[in-house]
Structure formats: C-alpha cells, structure tokens
C-alpha cells in the first residue's frame, strides 16, 4: 500500500490530509481533537487497509490450506515482522499479539505470577499507574499472598527514585511501571528503573501505551523484560495490542489461555503447547486489526518518531505556556520530562463542567480521573481536564483549546 511521503521537515498540514475525520464538524464547529491519550484517529492508509482486508483477504489465519487463508496468514505475520524492528526486539517470536495493553498486563501477571510469585514476595508499581497496571497485580498478590508496594511521586508528578531504590529487595519479583503517565504526561526514567531492578534480580514490565506513539523505543537497549502497548493509541485499529517479552521469560512461563492455535498436540492424557509466539495466542485473533496494525507502524515510521516527538514537544510547551495565561488555571503534573499530555484544573471549577463547555465548542478532551483514582487521591482532586496531543495537532488546535477554556471560565465563574 502506498504511503504518503513525509518530507524531511515535519509537514503537519500534509499529515492532517491523511486523517479524514479531522475535517468533520462537531456541534457545528470544526473538530479539535485533543483526546489522543484515549485513542488516536486513523490515517486513510489504515482505513483503506481495513476495507481491503474485508474486500480481498477475509479468511481465518494459521489454519486453512486454501489461497485466501494463506494470504491472510501472510498479511497477519507481516505485522509481527514489522513490529520487531519497530521496537528492536531480538526475535519476531517475542512479539505476542494481544487485544491491547490491558490484556498484555493481565497475561504477564497471570503467567509470570503462576511460575514465579509466591507468598511473601513483592511486586512494585508506582503511584501514577493506570488502573490496568494496578488491578492485575493486586489480584495476583491476593491470590499468592504477595505484597504490592507502591513507589510514591513528588508534587511535580515525578517518581521518588530514592523510595524506589529502598523498595527493591530480594523478595521483589516484578517491577511494573508506566513509561509515560496517561494522566500527567510524566516520562519516567525507565533506563534507570530497569538497571536498578535488574541489580536486585527483578524483571521489569513497562506499560508503553502512552509512549510508543510519541518516542522511539528500543527494547534491547532498554533491556526491558516485558513491554506492552495498544494499536488504537498509535493510529492503528482497536482490539489489537502487543506484548513484547524476552524469549527466556516467554519460554519459561506457562500459557495464558487454552484453546486452538496455542497447541501442538492435543490428547485427553496430555497436551503439548505450540512454540512462540503461538503459545500465547489461543483462539482466532482479531485478524483485521492485526493485519492493519502493520499500516499504522508504516505510517509512524514514515512520519518518523523523532520528528513526531520534536513536533509534539513544541506543541506541549506552547500549550503549557498559553494555558497558564488563563487566571487561576493550574497544571497538574509539571515533571521535567513530559510527553504529549497537559492536565489542568480551572480554579475550583469541576473538570466535568469544563469538559461539557469544551464539547459544545467542538473540542474533544478527557475529563475525570483518567483511570488513575489513587493518583487523583494523591493530589486531593476529583480529576482533571486532560488535553493530549498527537502528531496531527497544530498550534491552532491549542489556540482553540485556550479560547474554549477562557469561555468556560467566563460561563462557570
């Protein structure tokens, strides 16, 4: 499929032309889409691929001998082949296709937990985790009699690395942290986190759901043990995600679910499991999304993650500066290292009220606790208004947001 050529410098207007939804109106106003942390819009390259799948390829994968089944299987495996260099995994079979980030974390908590976690062990998470990187570990700890330890943050929203070092010990069986905070935008020092965990003998799972679309990731350079992310937050289809795991862990852990695809031989006495990656991919996958995710990877690589990161960094700085022009606006999350997210509160006004007014103006943001209730509790707030940026956003989008927040301030004061 033809990719739009993106020139050396980042041409955001050209990028925008690839996203058909950006030209529509909402409540009679041009759409200003700043809810990219929840999900990104899709370029026509991905949309076209979905149509092409159902008009040309539709068939089940990894089974049939017939022509279409082979085409679909090949296309599905192309995604794995493209994902490997995208995150620089050592092997294609270290790429497990899942439903999304949540399933990836649940898979690791369940399978790694069965193999390695026992009573008295400890799992470390951070105070800024999404519920999906809290609850699976809580469930595991309850089941195994292990302890969940939470690394606190400072007021800026940065991890307390002293406390982290102090929490690590020989009972630590896993460190599960987010790369980029979905609610605050904090970019965690993951290299340092991984080095220290390994020094203590513990593997690390990184939740990269808010990272993989914003900055280049090299799992071998990071030496991370598990990395999870979702297709729909990186311009790809919904219902597909990636779990990267080091081969040694994936080989050692038991399978997640039983069923078709994940077996080698089934007899009532004993079943032998399929090899990687299929051991963890029971049942018919989301074939359409799996195939079309490759087009999102192509799109990101053509646009260039370094260029995207630069563009988004500029926009984020611009958004922060402009928003602070508004009296009584305070930004929640002021870490030194931030990516793509600006969370804020307007005086004592409830974030829900601000969100309703912005929606009326055609501006899509997220309001609420962003599935990080313990984090909101930490700040003593009911939630925030969150604007989250993607590669197709512009300074005009930010200006519209600022004007919208000013309008909301007038109406709600």
Partner 1 sequence: MTINEIQEELIEDFAFFDDWMAKYEYLIQLGKELPLIDDQYKTDEYLIKGCQSKVWLHADHQRGKVLFTADSDAIITKGLVALMIKVLSGHSPAEIADSELYFIDQIGLKEHLSPTRANGLLSMVKQMKLYALALQAKGR
Q: Which residues in this chain contact partner 1 in the complex, by CB under 8 A?
A: 27, 349-353, 356-357, 360, 367-369, 382-383, 411-412
Nearer to partner 1, 320 or 368 (CB): 368
CB atoms within 10 A of CB 12: 19
**Crossing angle of the two packed helices 395-412 and 351-360, in degrees rounded to 10:** 120
Least CB distance to partner 1 at residue 406 (A): 14
Q: Are the CB atoms for 220 and 188 separated by under 8 Å? A: no
Give the span between the Cα atoms of 139 and 142, in whole angstroms. 5
Least CB distance to partner 1 at residue 137 (A): 22
Catalytic machinery residues: 371
Pairing between strand 122-126 and 95-98?
unpaired
Least CB distance to partner 1 at residue 318 (A): 27
Nearer to partner 1, 14 or 131 (CB): 131
Least CB distance to partner 1 at residue 98 (A): 25
Query: Do you find a cis peptide bond into 321, omega within 30 degrees of 0?
Result: no
Q: What are phi and psi of 374, to 5 degrees?
A: -60, -35
**How is residue 209 annotated by DSSP?**
T
Q: 344, 297, 299: which is closest to 325 by C-alpha?
A: 344
Nearer to partner 1, 214 or 366 (CB): 366
Q: Which residues contact 356 (CB under 8 A, 6 or more apart)?
A: none
Nearer to partner 1, 124 or 409 (CB): 409
The DSSP H or E segment spanning 144 is helix 135-144
Helix (H, G, I), strand (E, B) or coil at 33: strand
Nearer to partner 1, 114 or 360 (CB): 360
Least CB distance to partner 1 at residue 403 (A): 14
């Amino acid at each position: 499929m033809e990719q739009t050529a993106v020139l050396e410098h980042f041409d955001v207007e050209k990028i925008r032309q690839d996203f058909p939804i950006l030209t529509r109106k909402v409540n009679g106003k041009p759409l200003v889409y700043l809810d990219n942390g929840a999900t990104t819009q899709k370029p026509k390259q991905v949309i076209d691929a979905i149509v092409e799948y159902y008009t040309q390829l539709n068939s089940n994968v990894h089974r049939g001998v017939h022509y279409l089944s082979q085409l679909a299987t090949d296309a599905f495996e192309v995604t794995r082949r493209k994902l490997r260099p995208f995150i620089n995994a050592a092997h294609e079979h270290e790429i497990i296709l899942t439903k999304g980030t949540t399933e990836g974390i649940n898979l690791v908590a369940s399978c790694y937990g069965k193999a390695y976690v026992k009573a008295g062990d400890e799992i470390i998470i951070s105070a800024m985790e999404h519920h999906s990187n809290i609850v699976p570990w809580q469930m595991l700890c309850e089941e195994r009699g292990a302890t969940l330890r939470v690394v606190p943050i400072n007021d800026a929203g940065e991890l307390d690395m002293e406390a982290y070092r102090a929490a690590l010990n020989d009972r630590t069986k896993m460190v599960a942290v987010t790369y980029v905070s979905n609610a605050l935008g904090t970019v965690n020092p993951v290299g340092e986190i991984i080095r220290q965990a390994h020094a203590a003998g513990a593997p690390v799972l990184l939740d990269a759901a808010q990272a993989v679309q914003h900055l280049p990731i090299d799992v071998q350079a990071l030496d991370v043990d598990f990395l999870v992310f979702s297709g729909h937050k990186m311009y790809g289809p919904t219902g597909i995600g990636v779990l990267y795991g080091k081969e040694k862990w994936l080989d050692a852990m038991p399978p997640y679910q039983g069923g078709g695809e994940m077996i080698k031989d089934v007899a009532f006495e004993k079943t032998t499991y399929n090899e990687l990656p299929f051991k963890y991919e029971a049942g018919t996958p989301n074939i359409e999304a799996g195939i079309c995710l490759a087009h999102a990877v192509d799109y990101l690589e053509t646009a260039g993650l370094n260029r995207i990161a630069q563009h988004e960094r500029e926009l984020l700085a611009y958004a922060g500066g402009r928003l602070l022009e508004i009296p009584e606006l305070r930004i929640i999350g002021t870490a030194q290292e931030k990516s793509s997210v600006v969370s804020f509160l307007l005086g004592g006004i409830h974030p829900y009220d601000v969100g309703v007014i912005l929606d009326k103006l055609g501006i899509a943001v997220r309001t609420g606790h962003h599935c990080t209730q313990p984090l909101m509790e930490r700040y003593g707030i009911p939630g925030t208004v969150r604007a989250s940026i993607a590669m197709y956003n512009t300074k005009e989008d930010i200006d519209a947001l600022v004007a919208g927040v000013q309008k909301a301030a007038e109406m709600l004061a």
